[in-house]
A and B are shown apart, each in its own frame.
Chain A
Amino acid sequence: MTDIIAEPEGGDRRKGSLLAQDTRTQKRNAAERRFQIYGMVAVSIAVLALVFLLTSIVSNGIGSFSQTFISLDVVLAEDKLDKTGSRDRTEMAKVSTFGYAPLIKAAIEDRIAAEGIEIDGLTKPDALISKEAAAQLRNFVLANTDRVGDTVEFKFLASGRIDGYYKGRVTMASAALDRNISPEQLMLADALKDAGALERTFNWDFITAPDASENRPEAAGLGVAILGSLYMMVVVLFLALPIGVAASIYLEEFAPKNFLTDVIEVNISNLAAVPSIVFGILGLAIFINFAGLPQSAPIVGGLVLTLMTLPTIIIATRASLKSVPPSIREAALGVGASKMQTVFHHVLPLAAPGILTGTIIGLSQALGETAPLLLIGMVAFVREYPGAPPEGFFDPASALPVQIYNWTTRSDPAFVERASGAIIVLLIFLLIMNIVAIILRRRFERRW
């Protein structure tokens, strides 16, 4: 811009030496260097932000993949669990988890006595064990009624506070102010650890278990959310890909260029920019209120995300169809191929890498989308796994991003760790999808 204006101090070009840069060249070079520095600063800021984000998520979330467990020998007392002695499951199911809690309490007291641990002022030693333990015990007993009367070793989840103590979240000082845990109980945990009853291992339950209630973060897992997200992705893939590709092929190769197609074209581009929550309201109105589909179901979530993903897929597909050289179309038409043969035999295979990339980008977007799912009820607390497809598509489920949102709204600090852990899982899924996109693109591009 400023280069164009003649600058007299540049002098007569022919008189100057090539070895000495004139002021104009110096200015130009300085401008170039400055611009490069701006660029490097911009890149550095982006990289720093990414590194900061990843370190904070990983350092917060990595803990959720390991969990503290307490091993205890539980006496499955017949007089408590099966008063009739019939070993009849329906009869035994009448004993609720409250009936099992005393067994666990007895087991930990026995263990303390056996190890000879003495801590002054220790009350409620069973606070070390998760409230989930009673349910775990009950499920075991109902599944193995013949074991009643035996003594069985169990690995129970430690309570969230004890787990937090070993992850640095809970200290003696914070425990003194905490209603849920006392310093004496932490001392007991240390003593049990020395005795080998308490250990920290990899926590598969975080990935496979369903969500748990507000006051037992240690038991909360992503199982239902992962399954829900998976079901939704299946719905999106099987609806958005064929519809999107068919629409793009029609618009790009067959549709006449007139006012109507122009309007459609503009609107598709605009749809890509519509806030996702609007799609949620649309889904609520059409799929749930009008079509009567169930709330919280992956089918509804999938349909809403399909609507959201369609513009992305259509735009990407049309771009890659456009990028196929017209000479290929002419070649096919020239040997007497019909329009459809031209598209399906020649154009589509060449456009496939672009279409796949667009689809996977669309799917990744859909996988991480939260807002529309909140509106169609996927934010509900779901502890039951959805069934096997196709019925499972209509069962209530959660979704990964919604689960993250859900956990961040809970008060127990242990859920901060859970939420970060869930983000790690989500990021891993996104990473896998992107790698698949790259591999597919390479694979298809290699076919000349």
Chain B
Amino acid sequence: MNDMRITNRTIEMNDIKIAAKGVDVFYGDTHAIKDVSVEIQDKTVTAFIGPSGCGKSTFLRCLNRMNDTIDVARVTGDIRIDGEDIYDAKVDPVQLRAKVGMVFQKPNPFPKSIFENVAYGPKIHGLARTNDELEEIVMKSLNRAGLIDEVKDRLLAPATGLSGGQQQRLCIARAIAINPDVLLMDEPCSALDPIATARIEDLMWELKENFTIVIVTHSMQQASRVSQQTGFFHMGVLAEVGTTEQIFQNPVDTRTRDYITGRFG
């Protein structure tokens, strides 16, 4: 397969972008993530799969400290991006989130115009000095998100008027407008139809040239289509992680094999 060749090459070439070691997450008394260690390579797509409630989204939200916003959540362990501990007391989560962008399960555009949605990030981070620069960033981001042709005539129209797939691509444009290093995607296609899903998968394929993408998905097919590395979560434990080829064709862990062959989940 064509994928095989690319996968092998990327794994050989890329450095470690994100390294998690012994990560535990507690929601109050619930132990949601148990001792997860994983290394994620630069400029690849890494997919986390697993049954509902297995903790894959929780783990994803640790990577940009989104769990900080939940009062009862507590994260222990060591997560490093480019070798820097992101849970260090000196790290400002706001600054971290500018570096690690996120796309959510449900498209959640701001109830503002399409332009303002994409321009908001660059504006608050001071990425553009003039309006022309800002417009350039917005157009570039919309272009990279593959949305430009559909919206270029109605940039000032409300974003909520777009279709679900367009809204999700707008959210991707919004996330990449601030030029992050890492893009986290939490089941980005679960609310979309197959055509919109295919467009977003194509997009991920292109975006990984510039970004490290971590995606959480319910769909094993999606994971096998877009990712080079796959991790399987089961009941808060990262049961197995490896190249996508290996996980889908030759899983070592019995739980992974049962899940992939459809015995449960």
Flag if B104 contacts A336 (CB, 8 Å): no
Whether B112 and A331, one on each chain, are in contact in the complex, defined by CB atoms closer than 8 angstroms, is no
For window 235-257 of chain A, which residues contact chain B by CB distance below 8 Å?
256-257
- Complex interface residues of chain B between 95 and 150 (CB less than 8 A to chain A): 95, 97-98, 101-104, 106, 108-112, 120-121, 124-125
Min distance, Cβ B70 to any Cβ of chain A, angstroms: 10
Tell me if A334 and B158 are in contact (CB < 8 A): no
- Bound Cα distance from A255 to B94, whole angstroms: 18
Asked if B175 lies at the interface with its beta carbon under 8 angstroms from chain A, I say: yes
Could you say which residues of chain B place their CB within 8 Å of the CB of A139? none
The reply on B12 being an interface residue by CB < 8 A is no
Residue of B64, B66, B108, B178 contacting most chain A CB atoms (<10 Å): B108
Contact B101 A335 (CB under 8 A): yes
State whether B71 touches A257 (Cβ < 8 A). Answer: yes
Q: How far is the CA of A325 from the CA of B109 in the complex (A)?
A: 12
Q: Complex formed: what's the CA distance from A329 to B174 in Å?
A: 14
B contacts with A, residue count (CB < 8 A): 29
Docked complex Cα distance between A60 and B233 (Å): 77
Cα–Cα distance between A339 and B120 once the two chains are bound (Å): 15
Enumerate chain B interface residues (CB-CB to A < 8 A).
64, 66, 69, 71, 94-95, 97-98, 101-104, 106, 108-112, 120-121, 124-125, 158, 160, 171, 174-175, 177-178
Of the candidates A328, A335, A341, A448, the one having the most CB atoms from chain B within 10 angstroms of its own CB is A335
**Chain A residue contacts of B101, Cβ below 8 A:** 334-336
Q: Is the CB of A334 within 8 A of B120?
A: no
Cβ distance B93 to chain A, nearest Cβ, rounded Å: 8
Q: Is B160 within 8 A of A337, CB to CB? A: no
Residues on A with beta carbons closer than 8 Å to the beta carbon of B160: 448
Instruction: For A339, list chain B residues within 8 Å (CB).
Output: 94
Give bound CA distance, A332 to B108, whole Å.
Answer: 10
- The answer to whether residues A328 and B108 also contact, given A256-B71, A335-B178, A448-B158 and a CB cut-off of 8 A, is yes
Is A346 interfacial (CB-CB < 8 Å)? yes
Q: Are A331's CB and B171's CB within 8 A?
A: yes
- Cα–Cα, bound, A93→B125 (Å): 72
* CB of B157 to closest CB in A, whole Å: 10
**A334 and B66 in contact, given A341-B124, A345-B120, A448-B158 (Cβ under 8 angstroms):** yes
Cβ–Cβ contact A330 & B66, under 8 A: yes
- Residue pairs across A and B with Cβ atoms less than 8 A apart, 25 shown, are A257-B71, A325-B108, A327-B108, A328-B108, A328-B110, A328-B111, A330-B66, A330-B69, A330-B102, A330-B104, A331-B109, A331-B110, A333-B97, A334-B66, A334-B101, A334-B175, A335-B101, A335-B175, A335-B177, A336-B97, A336-B98, A337-B121, A337-B124, A341-B124, A345-B120
B117 closest partner in A (C-beta): A331
Assess whether A338 is interfacial by the CB under 8 Å rule: yes
Query: Which B-chain residue is minimally distant from A335 (CB atoms)?
Result: B121
Check B174–A335 contact: CB distance below 8 A. Answer: yes
Give the distance in Å from the alpha carbon of A225 to the alpha carbon of B101 in the complex: 59
The answer to whether B124 and A336 have CB atoms under 8 Å apart is: yes
Q: How far is the CA of A332 from the CA of B124 in the complex (A)?
A: 10
Residues of B within 8 A of A447 (CB): 111
The complex places the Cα of A226 from the Cα of B236 at a distance, in Å, of: 66
Find the residue from B69, B101, B125, B160 having the highest chain A CB count within 10 A.
Answer: B69
CB distance from B65 to the nearest CB of A (A): 10
Q: A257-B71, A327-B104, A330-B104 are in contact. Are A338 and B94 (CB under 8 A)?
A: yes
In the complex, what residue of chain A is closest to B96 when comparing beta carbons? A336
CA distance A341 to B120 in the complex (A): 11
The 8 closest A-B pairs by CB, nearest first: A336-B98, A327-B108, A335-B121, A334-B102, A448-B111, A336-B97, A331-B108, A448-B158
A335 touches B108 (CB 8 A): no
Within 8 Å CB of B95, what residues of A?
336
Alpha-carbon gap, A345 to B177, bound state (A): 18
Residues of A within 8 A of B124 (CB): 335-337, 341, 345
What CA separation (Å) do A66 and B176 show in the bound complex? 70
- A346/B110 in contact, CB under 8 A: yes
Residue A422 lies at the interface, judged by CB distance under 8 Å to chain B: no
Cα–Cα, bound, A337→B106 (Å): 19
> Complex Cα distance A312/B97, Å?
37
> Across the interface, do B111 and A334 meet the contact criterion of CB distance under 8 Å?
no
Chain B nearest Cβ from A443, distance in angstroms: 15
Considering only residues 317-363 of chain A, those with a C-beta below 8 Å from chain B are 325, 327-339, 341, 345-346, 350
A335 to B110, CA, bound (A): 11
Q: Which residues of B contact A346 (CB under 8 A)?
A: 110
Given A328-B110, A332-B110, A448-B160, verify A337-B94 contact (CB < 8 Å).
yes
Task: Report the minimum CB–CB distance from A448 to chain B (whole Å).
Answer: 4
A351 to chain B, nearest CB (A): 12
Does A333 contact B120, Cβ atoms closer than 8 Å? no
Residues on B with beta carbons closer than 8 Å to the beta carbon of A325? 108
- Shortest CB distance B155–A (Å): 15
Q: Which residues of A contact B66 (CB under 8 A)?
A: 330, 333-334
Q: Are A331 and B121 in contact (CB under 8 A)?
A: no
CB-CB nearest in chain B for A340: B94
14 additional contacts, CB 8 Å, given A333-B69, A336-B121? A327-B106, A328-B108, A330-B66, A330-B69, A330-B102, A331-B110, A333-B66, A334-B102, A334-B175, A335-B124, A336-B101, A336-B178, A337-B120, A350-B111
Alpha-carbon distance A85/B216, docked complex (angstroms) = 101
CA A341 to CA B110, docked complex, whole Å: 13
State which of A257, A327, A335, A350 has its C-beta within 8 Å of the C-beta of B120: A335
Q: A256 contacts which chain B residues (CB < 8 A)?
A: 71
Contacts of A328 in B (CB 8 A): 108, 110-111
B120 proximity list for chain A (CB < 8 A): 332, 335, 337, 345
